[in-house]
Amino acid sequence: MPLLARSVQTPLHIEVRRGAVADLGKILADGRISSGGEVAVVVGPGLGEKVVDLLRPSLTSAEIFVTGGGTLDAALELSNKLRSGHFDAVVGIGGGKTVDTAKYAASRWGLPMVSVATSLANDGIASPVASLINDGIKGSYGVHIPFGVVVDLDFVENGPELVNRAGIGDVISNISALADWELARQVRGEPVDGLAASLARMGAEAVLTMPGDMSDDAFVTVLAEALISSGLAMAVCGSSRPSSGGCHEIMHAIDSLYPATASHGELAGMGALFCTFLRGDERRLKQMSDCLARHQLPRTPSDVGLDADQFVQVIEFAPRTRPDRYTILEHLAMTPEQTRQKLAEYNDVIASL
């Protein structure tokens, strides 16, 4: 009997709207995740009190845990605390650090995890990956995909605008990551997962051309859904391939060599634009450049404070951040001199767009 279809693990419940945090008790009950609200709620030090005030009326039996730092140590400490209670699920509420800490801690005991995103900084909201710092280095740890994914637009609206806008860069970097995947198929015969590619592509194409900005609910909803689809794409193929190519190698290299230069999404967007230039795809370059400019996101190394020498080092180092991932950077294998030349051309082209 041939296998006629595949089973895909996805969250049971996805909800993007205003007022979601206040309705969390109902969302957990309706989603068959916790009928009585016996859950561990994990919050960051910043948002903690506000979130707890909103939650309490609908989640009277919840136990609150405060975590900070986004480190592997913090996740292990949280995981040890979770062991002492009996919880239906772990609910991580906050930005990437808090959600990823909760994801990792829940995954360790096989507890269902609900991701409640209060910002749209990157595609970690629904992904089966926790990005945590260990010994000063950011690592990606495989975890179970969240059972529920909730985005509360009230929090997104009141959060730091740049943090949320950065998610746009992370989403549109999928276009470059998918081009890298296709290149790896052509050059090395690497299989491309069509379903994963489609999930990663659709949201990116929507965000790339959709009018509106972070003050527009329709745009913010599409951005949130695109970030969720990116996470699902990674879950479907069991790797970050659909959402991470040369763009993310550049981002990881900058993070390693020049920490705290800019956020994940800002650097992924800029890296994607540079990789698209290297591919010589003029139509895509113009589309992506327009999108990043429209949302005031960085497009060139100098926009994030890196000079030519530093960027040449970044491109040298980039392939080492994801060994065996074939992208336009490995394909061209440019010498430092060639990179310097390409960067000069790139800066001229971007300035003329």
Site residues for Zn ion, 32-61, by CB under 5 A, read: none
Give me the least distance between CB of 101 and Zn ion, in Å please: 18
Asked if residue 99 belongs to a known ligand binding site, the reply is yes
Site residues for Zn ion, 251-270, by CB under 5 A, read: 268
Q: Where are the alpha helices (DSSP H) in the chain?
A: 24-30, 48-55, 72-83, 96-108, 153-158, 161-188, 194-209, 217-237, 246-257, 264-279, 282-294, 308-321, 328-332, 336-352
- Given the rule CB under 5 A, which of 103-111, 164-172, 293-301, 307-315 is the region that contacts Zn ion? 164-172
Give me the least distance between CB of 122 and Zn ion, in Å please: 5
In degrees, to the nearest 5, what angle opens at C-alpha 63 toward C-alphas 61 and 68?
A: 155
Give me the least distance between CB of 60 and Zn ion, in Å please: 37
Q: How far apart are CA 140 and CA 131, in angstroms?
A: 5
Strand partners of residue 140: 131
Closest residue to bound Zn ion by CB: 170
In degrees, to the nearest 5, what angle opens at C-alpha 296 toward C-alphas 327 and 267?
A: 30
Q: How far apart are CA 235 and CA 124, in angstroms?
A: 11
Check residue 152 for interaction with Zn ion (CB under 5 A): no
* Nearer to Zn ion (CB atom), residue 140 or residue 347: 140
In terms of Cβ atoms closer than 10 Å to its own Cβ (0-12, 13-18, 19+), residue 5 is exposed
**342's tokens:** 């390409």
Check residue 170 for interaction with Zn ion (CB under 5 A): yes
* Nearer to Zn ion (CB atom), residue 71 or residue 240: 240
* Nearer to Zn ion (CB atom), residue 170 or residue 255: 170
Give me the least distance between CB of 88 and Zn ion, in Å please: 30
Check residue 225 for interaction with Zn ion (CB under 5 A): no
* Nearer to Zn ion (CB atom), residue 31 or residue 124: 124
Asked if residue 290 belongs to a known ligand binding site, the reply is no
Conformation bin of residue 110: beta by default, left when phi > 0, alpha when psi is -120 to 50: left
- In the annotated binding site for glycerol, the residues are 123, 170, 248, 264
Enumerate binding residues for Zn ion (CB under 5 A): 170, 268
- In the annotated binding site, the residues are 96-100, 123, 127, 170, 248, 264
